[in-house]
Structure 1
Amino acid sequence: MKKILFGASVYQHLTAFHRPFMKWFQEKGYEVHAVGSNSLGRKAEIEEMGVICHDIDFERLPLSRRNINAYKQLKKLFSTHYFDLIHVHTPTASFLIRYAAKKAQQGKIVYTAHGFHFFKGSSTKNWLAFYPAEKLAAKWTDALIVMNKEDFISGERLGFKKNEDLFFVNGVGVDLKEYKVNNPEGDNFLKTELKLENDAVLITCVAELSKRKNQFFLLENWGSIISKAQNVHLVFVGKGPDEEKIKTFINEHDISNVHLLGYRTDVPKIISASDIITLVSKQEGLPRCLMEGMAVGKPIISTNIRGSADLVSNEQTGFLVDLDDSENLIKSIIELAENEEMRYEFGHNAKIKIEKYSINNVLKDMENIYSKLL
């Protein structure tokens, strides 16, 4: 039986984004394997699909000593298995897998860049660490898949050629059926949970609480926002390394109308019950949470960065705000919060635009790429 391998630094990444593609291979009669670390859990979810998992001690930091052991584990795996195609994700893990696979003369290797760590505006440190690594790994890569315009240009600079070994795909796909939420508790369940009036406007951010996701940009301007629009409430969904810093900042500055929901399993329902979706990240590839918001017809307020700017059409599906442009952030949130008709119009436009990012359309594109390689 022919074998396919999916690889990422953690199984959680594969579980969250790549199950439909694993299932496609299984339906075609392939035996599907996966490599990753289970440090963040969710390995069992792909094992339940019949995917064979091989634990690898990947560390996200490229120069970590643990990655020497990860390479040895990969070398052992490739000495006992031959894979007809290997699809890799996440920078450090993909570099190690590609190198080990080429050394072991494995089959075709596909790399999906979910957002290169070198990009316009990123640090010199990132460019020095990641660009040379990707340039070197390009020699071991049979196909590069990107999901935003800036990364496509970077792919060409790395030596890949459009439609030969460089392919543009609209993200990992959103299951639009999943976001046709039938909520028996009613559309106002979240306002009820938070003990808010029905005319409150909920602006929701679904993201890891981290420096990269930049939640402090919202918090530092929140006092100015609610001084002019008192019925607006900010909802954070997620956990992360900045969680305690955020709680401390809220308490020390006596910031009101902010709600931290932590980790939730009912994200589609929360997004559907929100009025506006926001993401003010410093770096993205193609943010899924914005696609999820668009899938249920929500207007978006986002930073004007790679990936987010590919999704959001300024003043059509939402507002794009430059990083650190506090004045425009405040203005955009207040304008959208106070104009229900504009929220409806932007949300309607967003729902139309997101169709091309549906899992059905993305699967068709991926099928063509896989078939070409195999």
Structure 2
Amino acid sequence: MKEAENIIVGISIGDLNGVGSEIVLKTFEDERILDFCTPVIFASIKVMSFLKNHFKSNINFNSINSLSQVATNKVNVFNVWKEPVKIDFGKEDAKIGEYAIKSLTSATKALKNDDINVLVTAPINKHNIQSEDFNFPGHTDYLAQELEGESLMFMVTDTLRVGLLTDHVPVKDIAEHITPDLIEKKINTVYNALREDFKIVKPKIAVLGINPHTGDNGVIGTEDDAVLRPTLQKIKETGKLVYGPYAADSFFGSNNYKNFDAIIASYHDQGLIPFKTLSFGQGVNYTAGLNKVRTSPDHGTAYEIAGKGEADENSFKEALFTAIHIYKNRVDYKEITSNPLKKSPKTNRR
């Protein structure tokens, strides 16, 4: 593995019929980014050359067939496959889904083997990736199986961080999934991520309720009083600054979220609707709690604009720099905890 000053960033190419390839190309057209990292795109030089021509990109790729051939100051393309691929922008295609998974599994293997330092994933289509060999709702669940740790979907910007108790769970099943054990695991994952990945020494965490108005004393559901409140009280007794449950409908509109280092929502839309409303195009999807660093942009394949040159690369660029930042913070944290006498680097509240 290369040193932290020369971080190798693996990039899974995602759905080739979507905007993923475009935002990857636009990001690395700025050669200054190569001062911060060495990118490795997991795809094929044939595909990337086609995309380069289509989008009139000025990137010069370094085609490699072994990860030992990775070159610094170059945009490397690791050839996961050799055959040509028919790209039809904006179309859902099961065959394209297969190539998205080939890229992802190859990049994940490289991450596990320390051939790359971090992984940034371009958007996939959750429907066309399904097969007998790959049966996961998305990146997060697959990486949770392949990597060590307790995974958590953590949506982050410089000023807002939102984690989820449940992620890709049908609304009708949410309450039965939220158990004291799950609550403790997810809060501990967020707490540790804030300390190790974001250098926040004493994190303040808010938890949103399960039911409207946190149940209104049992009138609109009992889960908040029976499950969430007692579990949060138990966690508080360990010294963690955990508060709630808060009624979700007014929490963001009142700006109360600004008083916390992270917010934990009970389910997907409760957390992601306000997050994306406040930060769309700048947010990053970070899989916290794993032994490796993975980030992605906060949007999907955007078929409606794919191939048109209209995609905004800012969220992907933020995902790239967030991965680099977290990796460096983990290196610092490991050095500090292994050598307690070493002076701690400057910490951040936000």
- TM tier, smaller: 0.3 to 0.5
When the two structures are superposed, what TM-score results if normalisation uses the length of structure 2? 0.33
Which of structures 1 and 2 has the larger relative contact order (alpha carbons within 8 angstroms, sep 6+)? Answer: 2
When the two structures are superposed, what TM-score results if normalisation uses the length of structure 1? 0.31
